[in-house]
Structure 1
Amino acid sequence: MFSAWRRWGWGVQGGLSALLLCVLPSVRAEPVRPLLMLVENSALMPQARIEGDRVVEGLHLDLGQALARRLGRELVARPVPRKRLAEALQRGEGDLLCDYQSDWLPGAFAWSRPFLPDQALLVSAATAPAPAGLAALAGQPVGTVRGYVYPEVADALRAAFIRDDAPDAVANLQKLELGRIKHALTGRRVLEYQQRIGRFRLALHTPLVVSEVMAQCALSPSSPVGLAALNAAIQGLVSDGELSRLLARYR
C-alpha cells in the first residue's frame, strides 16, 4: 500500500513539473525596443560622421549611447535629411532628436531640460580690423550657413546684414581661411574641433560671443520613453560629469 502511494505521489509531482514546463515559456518578457535617435544626415564632425545610412562617430552618437544605456536600451542612430526631421519625429520614425531647441523645430514634441552647451561666435581674420560689436559688420559680407537663421545678428543689422552663404559650417570656415570673407558666424564646438584636428589654422581675433546656447532633446509623441525618464537620464549625465567628458573629446 505504501509503495503504491509513493508511485502515485511521484506521478502527481511529475505531472506538475510537466505542466510548469509548458507554462513557463509563455510568460517570457518581450525584449525592450532600442532607442531610435534621429541625426541630421548633413551633420559634420564633431556632431557626427555619417557613412551611407550609418552614424559611425561623433558627439550625437556618443550622447545617444550614453542616454540609451541609462534608459536600459540599445541605441539605433538613424540619419534623416534636415527638412524631414520634424516629420520623421512626429510620425514615430525615431524616438528623439538632440542638440536642438524648441524654437528651431516646429511640432508637438515634448522637450527635455536644456543641457547641451554651445556658443554662437563671430570670428574675424586677424588681418582685418577687430569688430567692436555686431554693428561694425554693417554692409560687410559675413560668412553664414545656408538655411540657418542668426536672429541676434539680423536684429542688430537688419537690412545691413549681408549674408555670404556656404553649404555647411566647415565650408564657411574654409572661405574665411581662403580670404574670401573677413568675418564668419560659427559655433564654438565646430571651430575648436577644426582647430584641434589642424584643418583650420587661420590667425583670428578673439571671437565675439553672439549668443549662448543650451540645446535640448525633442521626444516623439509615440516614443515609449517618457519625458521624466529622459530628464532623469540627462540629469545623471550632467551630475556625474559624463557629459563634460563627452564634450571634452571634441575640443
Structure 2
Amino acid sequence: MRSALGALLFISASAIAAPAPIRFAITDSWAMPMAQIERGRPIQGILYDVMLSLATQVGVPAEFKVLARARVHSSMEHGEIDVRCYAAQAWLPNQSGNYIWSVPLWLQRDLLIARPGTPAPVVPARLTAQPIGTVLGYYYPTLQPLFDSGQLQRDDARNQDQVLHKLQAGRYQYAVSNQWTLDWFNQRLMPDQQLHAVTVLQELNVGCYVRNDPKVPVQRILGTLLKMKMSGEIDDIIQLYTGTREPLPGTPAP
C-alpha cells in the first residue's frame, strides 16, 4: 500500500514539475524553406528551427499544431495556441484578445516572378488580362485591385511550392512568391533555368505574437526572440536554408 501510494505521489509530483509546452501554430500552406510538413508534423525549415530553438532556450518543450491558415487566429482566440510566428499586425487589423508582439524578426518580401527570359521590370497594372499564380487564402494588397477589376485572375495552389512548379511548367506567365521560397526553389535549378523576380510587390516586417496568459512565459519568450535576432541566430538559420542573409528593407531583389 505504501509503495503504491509513494508511486502515486511520485507521478503526481513529476506531473506538477513538468513544464507546460509552448504551443506553436504551423500553417499547413507553408512550404520549404519555411517548414516541411510530413504526416501532419513539421520536421525542418526556417520557422520550425526558430521555434524549436526558442522553446529550448526558454527551457520548455515545443508542441506544434498544424492548422489551416483560416483556423490559426481562431485557435489563438480560444487559447489552443500560445505563439504564432511569421505574422504582421497589418494582416490582423481587427485582432481581438490580449496579445503581445515581438520585435520584427523577418522581412516578408513578396515578388512577382517569371520564367527565364521574361523581361523585367514589369508593372502589374500594365499587364493584359491573364491568370497569376497565387496561394489559396493569401491576400496580396498590391494586386487585389487588379483581381477585383478582373484585369488579372488568381490561379490558386495549396502552397507556395506548388505555385512555383506550375509557373515552371508554363501554366501561367507570372506568379507571386516570397523571397525565401524563390531562393530555395532556385537552388535546385541550373542558372539558365532559374525563376526570377520582375518586380517587388510588397515588403513587410513580420514577427511573432504571444497570447498574454499567466500560464505562458510571455516575457521569457519575447526576450529570447530578441536575443536570437540580435545575436544573428535567426539570420544564420535563414542563410542555412536559402544561401542568403536576410535582405534589408528597400534592398533591390536579386
Q: TM-score range by the shorter chain?
A: 0.7 to 0.9
Quote the offset at 1:157 in angstroms.
7.0
Q: What does residue 63 of structure 1 align with? A: 50
Q: What does residue 236 of structure 1 align with? A: 227
Find out whether 1:94 has 2:74 as its counterpart. no
Find out whether 1:196 has 2:183 as its counterpart. no
Contact 2:29 2:68 in 1 (8 A): yes
Unaligned runs of 5+ in 1: 1-24
Partners of 2:116 and 2:189 lie apart in 1 by 18
Find out whether 1:208 has 2:199 as its counterpart. yes
Find out whether 1:132 has 2:122 as its counterpart. yes
Q: Residues 124, 136 of structure 1: CA spacing in aligned structure 2 closer, same or farther, 3 A cutoff?
A: farther
Q: What does residue 225 of structure 1 align with? A: 216
Partners of 2:192 and 2:88 lie apart in 1 by 31
Contact 1:54 1:77 in 2 (8 A): yes
Which of 24, 28, 36 aligns to 1:49? It is 36
Unaligned runs of 5+ in 2: 1-9, 243-254
Percent of aligned pairs with the same amino acid? 27
Q: Tell me whether 142-151 or 119-128 shows the greater mean CA deviation.
A: 119-128
Q: What does residue 4 of structure 2 align with? A: none
Partners of 1:200 and 1:34 lie apart in 2 by 44
Q: 1:165-222: CA deviations, max 9, x gaps?
A: 2222112111211112111111011111111244997344544211112212122244
Partners of 1:187 and 1:210 lie apart in 2 by 10
Let me know the Cα RMSD of the aligned residues: 2.8
Q: What does residue 177 of structure 1 align with? A: 168
More helix by share: 1
Find out whether 1:186 has 2:173 as its counterpart. no
Contact 1:175 1:181 in 2 (8 A): yes
Partners of 2:195 and 2:27 lie apart in 1 by 29
Q: 1:3-54: CA deviations, max 9, x gaps?
A: xxxxxxxxxxxxxxxxxxxxxx999972321211121133221121222242
Q: 1:136-185: CA deviations, max 9, x gaps?
A: 32423221112111101224675123222222211211121111211111
Q: Residues 66, 199 of structure 1: CA spacing in aligned structure 2 closer, same or farther, 3 A cutoff?
A: farther
Q: Residues 126, 57 of structure 1: CA spacing in aligned structure 2 closer, same or farther, 3 A cutoff?
A: closer
Q: How does 1:6-25 map to 2 (within 5 A)?
A: none
TM-score, normalization by structure 2: 0.78
Residues matched between the structures, number = 227
TM-score, normalization by structure 1: 0.79
Partners of 1:32 and 1:38 lie apart in 2 by 19
Partners of 1:216 and 1:126 lie apart in 2 by 33
Q: Tell me whether 193-202 or 42-51 shows the greater mean CA deviation.
A: 193-202
Q: 1:46-99: CA deviations, max 9, x gaps?
A: 121222242211122201112112322221222122222112222222211111
